[in-house]
Amino acid sequence: MNGPFGIIVVGIDMEIKFPSFDNSHFFWITVCGEVPSADKALLRWIKGEKDKTARIKTSRGTGFTRFMLGGRSGNHVHFDVLSPEVASKKLKEESKSTLGDIQNSMRRLWGKEIEANLKGGFQANLRELPESGIIRSLLFKTKMGNVAIKLGGATLSIEGAPVQEISWSVGPKGNIQIRLEAESITTTLSENYLTDSADTLQRAFDIFVLGKARNEPV
């Protein structure tokens, strides 16, 4: 079933939405958080849960999601969601679970406050980037005699915005690979947990990479 923000997974009690990757620039997201209020009983349950990888339907074909609990802290809640183009062979082989399995595991955590970090991967062609934009303005190539120097990537820090870091590099075919990161976002595990996280990164991509105003269509 399609919703306004992505693909809806129908469950008995609640529903979780996954990014549908309608935005052709968007390729993956990782939402990595911890449950600060987890009590001993919840920590024991988290420890007993196995990692789950499942296939998801997206507007670009079959993508994948990976759901992991526990980690070193014991209260870790981790989601990876990938578009069809970037899923590895190993991830495809690991996809033994169903979305229903993930939905069932999440019910114990529903409504819990989570302190999360977000990471997302995007791609753009050089001609899509504004001349005075952050990335294009930093691309340069210069020569010192027979020596050529070229900047093909960088990591930039941002203050005062939901996204704190932008990393980029020029791919082998000239496409720009962009990674956005946001740290310490406090939210609750709900049906919009993943789609809201994806929207945060996509808005930052539109503004800082494509140079779009906040209300300007892409």
pLDDT in tens, 73-87: 889 999 999 999 998
Give the residue carrying structure tokens 């300007």: 216
Mean pLDDT of 110-122: 95
What integer pLDDT is reported at residue 7 of this predicted model? Answer: 44
Distance, in Å, from the CA atom of 94 to the CA atom of 160, rounded to the nearest integer, reads 39
Phi/psi for 60 (5° steps) reads: -110, 15
pTM for the model stands at: 0.85
Distance, in Å, from the CA atom of 22 to the CA atom of 14, rounded to the nearest integer, reads 24
* pLDDT at 183 exceeding the cut of 80: yes
Buried b (16+ CB within 10 A) or exposed e, 76-111: bbbbbbbbbeebeeebeeebebebeebbebbeebbe
Distance, in Å, from the CA atom of 33 to the CA atom of 115, rounded to the nearest integer, reads 5
Q: 27 and 85 in contact (C-beta within 8 Å)?
A: yes
Q: 77 and 69 in contact (C-beta within 8 Å)?
A: yes
What integer pLDDT is reported at residue 1 of this predicted model? Answer: 43
pLDDT band at 3 (very low <50, low <70, confident <90, very high): very low
Hey, is 53 helix, strand or coil?
Answer: strand
* pLDDT at 8 exceeding the cut of 70: no
What integer pLDDT is reported at residue 118 of this predicted model? Answer: 96
Residue type, 119: K
Strand order in the sheet with 76-82: 52-58, 61-70, 76-82, 26-34, 113-124, 176-188, 165-170, 153-157
Percent with pLDDT over 90 in the chain: 59
Q: How confident is the model over 184-209, as pLDDT tens digits?
A: 889 999 999 999 999 999 999 999 99
Q: How confident is the model over 43-65, as pLDDT tens digits?
A: 999 999 999 999 999 999 999 99
* pLDDT at 119 exceeding the cut of 80: yes
* pLDDT at 218 exceeding the cut of 50: no
Burial class (CB in 10 A: 0-12, 13-18, 19+), 199: middle
Q: How many CB atoms lie within 10 A of CB 20?
A: 22
